[in-house]
């Protein structure tokens, strides 16, 4: 068959999208040792690099100082890794949610995770009630359980009202307000110390998670992601054509929407339980990706994840460097820099970005 | 028989919309569904492609009961052009048409899928728009893209819901002309819900006149589009100019 020009052009554009994702990935890989070199004790990028290599390949002959090794492995690399996992996870979930609900304004937290997690954490901190009796998972487990309860309620009620995007968004708003009211009541009655602890938890930080926690969160993500990727074409049909067109293209929108929201809830809840509320990245990373490579979810999901990871890693290193040894919460840094940057992108783009 | 509908009933809650609709569309035929607002045209199309589930009756596409087919299987036989196209996210023309290949694609786009998408664009005469974004196009161009998407499914039957309602007269003629020639050339079938009786008369092999959810009359345009039928179903007094295909001139509404 003779190849028509626009078919060739399509291949070229596809290759260009893949190249952009690859370049973002290279940026992220470079960013890891660089961001681990910043902090109250300055390390050269070389030191960081040696410390990483010496630990991963003990027989490579690369030597690293004890101090560098401790700083890199116990602290900074752990933070950076959690930042990557957090950014990548929330960004993918945001892209999936925006497609599944055909709405550019939703984020991973639209499934109710933020209000659920905050309620869970508040209960644990203020009343000392948790699903896990004690130990370091006291707050985390409660935040996770309440996130999932909220999400499943939203998904369940949404299904009762026809499994449409509007149903999920409105039910989500109703439940979010209800749960927030309970949280506010708890905070209203709380002592000052507990209130501070809750506020601190809500600010969101990638520095609390241990290596074991990171492995746990990554494992949950790695199990869920292939399923989300499997839905890419279905999400394309739903996002670009709407539900009825999706049906006519062989997609069951109700099923895809429900399943993808459950997966999003799992990933978002597991991240949020360890980090607190980190907003912005889940909403904006998919938009930045969409501005550059377009809306095809096969490329949008990977691209959003890498951009999300870059955003959170960058926000973490800036937060650690502005006024050491104090650390600014990653959410504050990201929103204050990312907000104006995103505004700039929106205004610069001549074409109308959505209708 | 490409499409056959037997005794289909549908109601929204308890309000009946379709009552005992029985009809068929033959290979190589363009059939128009006409009737006033609320007569059940759109509902009938949606009952065929399983967007809605009929309360009673059977829909057969290529002799196969649609209830026993998976959505993906059905999507290889049935293309659909909706009345209103919703889109919140930017998508290029080529990506949109490629979506029509979704029933055949598991993950990666094969060269064959790309070829079919390009050929369909060429067929619609919009190859040069391939990389443009949908929201930059005019209504007529956009409608051609949506039709191209349905044709890229390589369907045996194509359902169109008011394909000309937002188009200027040139695009109206172009769009219906292309549909008719594709149907004839590929020996498929088209069922078109349409308001414009003159376009229906000119481009259809058969017309089905719906009245309050029932088929009031069906057959060749000259048989169905009569002064009496239109007075009863639409409540409009018309004059009909019968030179080849009937040409309808609306005069006054009757009470």
The pLDDT, as a whole number, for residue A73 is 86
pLDDT (0 to 100) of residue B100 = 95
Mean per-residue pLDDT for A283-300? 91
pLDDT attached to residue A351? 57
At A2, the pLDDT band (50, 70, 90 cuts) reads very low
Q: Measured between alpha carbons, how far apart are the two ends of chain B, in Å?
A: 40
Q: How far is B172 from chain A (nearest CA, A)?
A: 22
Residue B35 near residue B42, CB atoms below 8 Å: no
Q: Which residue of B has its CA nearest to A98?
A: B89
- Res A252 pLDDT > 60: yes
Instruction: Split chain B (255 residues) into runs of 10 and give each run's mean pLDDT.
Output: 93 89 94 94 94 93 93 94 78 92 90 92 91 87 94 96 92 94 95 96 96 94 94 94 88 88
Question: A7 to chain B nearest CA, in Å?
Answer: 5
Contact of A99 with chain B, judged by CB distance below 8 Å, is answered with: yes
Q: Is A350 on the interface with B (CB under 8 A)?
A: no
A123-177 pLDDT, tens digit each: 888 888 777 666 778 888 888 999 999 999 999 999 998 889 989 999 999 999 9
User: Best residue in B48, B88, B139 to probe A by mutation, most A CBs within 10 Å?
Assistant: B88
Residues of A in contact with B150 (CB under 8 A): 248
Contact A168/A101 with Cβ under 8 angstroms?
Answer: yes
**pLDDT attached to residue B158:** 96
Average pLDDT over residues A110-122: 88
Say which CATH number the domain at A102 has: 1.10.3470.10
Q: How far is A322 from chain B (nearest CA, A)?
A: 37
pLDDT of residue B139: 87
How high is the pLDDT of residue A354? Answer: 46
Q: What is the pLDDT of residue A48?
A: 85
CB contact under 8 A, B118 and A6: yes
Domain that residue A207 falls in? 85-348
A250 at B interface, C-beta within 8 A: yes
pLDDT in tens, A218-235: 999 999 999 999 999 999
Tell me the nearest-neighbour CA distance from B217 into chain A, angstroms: 28
> Three-class SS string for chain A?
CCCCHHHHHHHHHHHHHHHHHHHHHHHHHHHHHHHHHCCCCCCCHHHHHHHHHHHHCHHHCCCCCHHHHHHHHHHHHHHHHHHHHHHHHHHHHHHHHHHHCCCCCCCHHHHCHHHHHHHHHHHHHHHCCCCCCCCCCHHHHHHHHHHHHHHHHHHHHHHHCCCCHHHHHHHHHHHHHHHHHHHHHHHHHCCHHHHHHHHHHHHCCCCCCCHHHHHHHHHHHHHHHHHHHHCHHHHHHHHHHCHHHHHHCCCCHHHHHHHHHHHHHHHHHHHHHHHCCCCCHHHHHHHHHHHHHCCCHHHHHHHHHHHHHHHHHHHHHHHHHCCCCCCCCHHHHHHHHHHHHHHHHHHHCCCCCCC
Residue A56, pLDDT > 70, answer yes
Structural domains counted in chain A? 1
Which residues does B86 contact at the CB level (< 8 Å), separation at least 6?
A: A102, A241, A242
Partners of B121 on chain A (C-beta within 8 Å) are: 6
Which residues in chain A have Cβ-Cβ distances shorter than 8 Å to B119? 4
Residues in chain B closer than 8 A to A101 (CB atoms) = none
- pLDDT-derived band at A349 (thresholds 50, 70, 90) equals low
Assess if residue A206 is contained within a domain.
Answer: yes
How much is the pLDDT for A12?
A: 86
Tens of pLDDT, residue by residue over B114-127, are 999 999 999 999 98
Residue A355's pLDDT is what?
40
State the pLDDT at residue B75. Answer: 95
Q: Sort out which chain A residues have CB atoms less than 8 A from B111's CB and list them.
A: 1, 3, 7
pLDDT in tens, A230-250: 999 999 999 988 899 999 999
Confidence of residue A253 (pLDDT cuts 50, 70, 90): very high
Domain boundaries, chain B: 3-77+155-253, 86-153
| Set of chain A residues whose Cβ sits within 8 Å of the Cβ of B158 | none
What is d(CA A299, CA A320) in angstroms, rounded to the nearest whole number? 32
ipTM field: 0.91
| Distances from the Cα of A313 to the Cα of A41, A52, A167, angstroms | 18, 17, 35
Mark yes or no for CB contact A248/B133 under 8 Å.
no
Q: CB-CB: which of A1, A234, A295 is closest to B115?
A: A1
According to CATH, what is the number of the domain B3-77+155-253? Answer: 3.40.50.300
């Amino acid at each position: 068959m003779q190849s028509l020009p626009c078919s060739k052009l399509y291949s070229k554009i596809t290759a260009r999208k893949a190249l952009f994702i690859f370049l973002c990935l290279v940026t992220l890989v470079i960013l890891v040792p660089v961001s681990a070199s910043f902090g109250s004790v300055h390390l050269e990028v070389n030191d960081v690099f040696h410390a990483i290599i010496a630990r991963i390949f003990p027989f490579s002959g690369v030597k690293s100082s004890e101090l560098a090794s401790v700083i890199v492995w116990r602290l900074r690399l752990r933070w950076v890794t959690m930042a990557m996992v957090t950014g990548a996870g929330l960004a993918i979930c945001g892209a999936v949610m925006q497609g599944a609900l055909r709405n550019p304004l939703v984020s991973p937290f639209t499934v109710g995770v933020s209000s659920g997690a905050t309620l869970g954490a508040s209960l644990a901190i203020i009343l000392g009630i948790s699903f896990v009796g004690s130990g370091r998972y006291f707050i985390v487990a409660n935040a996770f359980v309440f996130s999932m309860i909220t999400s499943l309620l939203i998904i369940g009620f949404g299904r009762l009202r026809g499994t449409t995007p509007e149903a999920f968004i409105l039910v989500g708003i109703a439940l979010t307000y209800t749960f927030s009211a309970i949280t506010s009541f708890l905070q209203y009655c709380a002592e000052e110390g507990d209130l501070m602890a809750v506020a601190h938890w809500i600010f969101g930080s990638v520095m609390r998670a241990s290596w074991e926690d990171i492995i746990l969160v990554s494992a949950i993500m790695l199990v869920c992601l292939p399923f989300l990727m499997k839905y890419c074409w279905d999400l394309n049909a739903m996002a670009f054509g709407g539900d009825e067109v999706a049906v006519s293209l062989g997609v069951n929108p109700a099923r895809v929407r429900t399943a993808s929201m459950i997966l999003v809830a799992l990933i978002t809840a597991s991240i949020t339980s360890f980090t607190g509320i980190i907003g912005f990245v889940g909403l904006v990373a998919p938009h930045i990706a969409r501005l550059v490579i377009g809306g095809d979810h096969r490329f949008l999901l990977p691209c959003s994840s890498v951009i999300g990871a870059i955003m959170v890693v960058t926000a973490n290193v800036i937060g650690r460097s502005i006024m050491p040894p104090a650390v600014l919460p990653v959410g504050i840094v990201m929103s204050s820099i990312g907000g104006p940057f995103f505004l700039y992108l929106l205004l610069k783009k001549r074409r109308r970005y959505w209708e | 028989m490409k499409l056959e509908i037997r005794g289909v009933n549908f109601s929204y809650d308890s309000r009946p919309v379709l009552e005992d609709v029985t009809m068929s569309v033959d290979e190589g035929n363009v059939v128009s569904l006409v009737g006033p607002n609320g007569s059940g045209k759109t509902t009938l199309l949606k009952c065929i492609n399983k967007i809605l589930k009929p309360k009673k009756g059977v829909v057969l596409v290529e002799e196969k009961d649609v209830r026993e087919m998976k959505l993906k299987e059905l999507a290889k036989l049935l293309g659909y052009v909706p009345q209103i196209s919703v889109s919140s996210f930017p998508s290029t023309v080529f990506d949109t048409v490629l979506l029509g290949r979704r029933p055949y694609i598991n993950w990666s786009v094969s060269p064959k899928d790309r070829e079919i998408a390009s050929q369909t664009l060429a067929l619609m005469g919009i190859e040069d728009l391939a990389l443009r974004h949908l929201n930059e196009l005019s209504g007529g161009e956009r409608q051609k893209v949506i039709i191209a998407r349905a044709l890229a499914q390589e369907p045996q039957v194509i359902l169109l819901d008011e394909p000309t309602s937002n188009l200027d007269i040139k695009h109206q003629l172009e769009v219906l002309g292309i549909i008719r020639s594709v149907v004839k050339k590929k020996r498929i079938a088209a069922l078109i819900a349409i308001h414009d009786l003159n376009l229906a008369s000119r481009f259809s092999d058969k017309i089905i006149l719906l009245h309050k959810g029932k088929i009031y009359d069906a057959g060749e345009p000259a048989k169905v589009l009569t002064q009496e039928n239109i007075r009863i179903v639409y409540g409009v007094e018309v004059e009909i100019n019968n030179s080849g295909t009937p040409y309808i001139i609306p005069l006054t509404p009757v009470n």
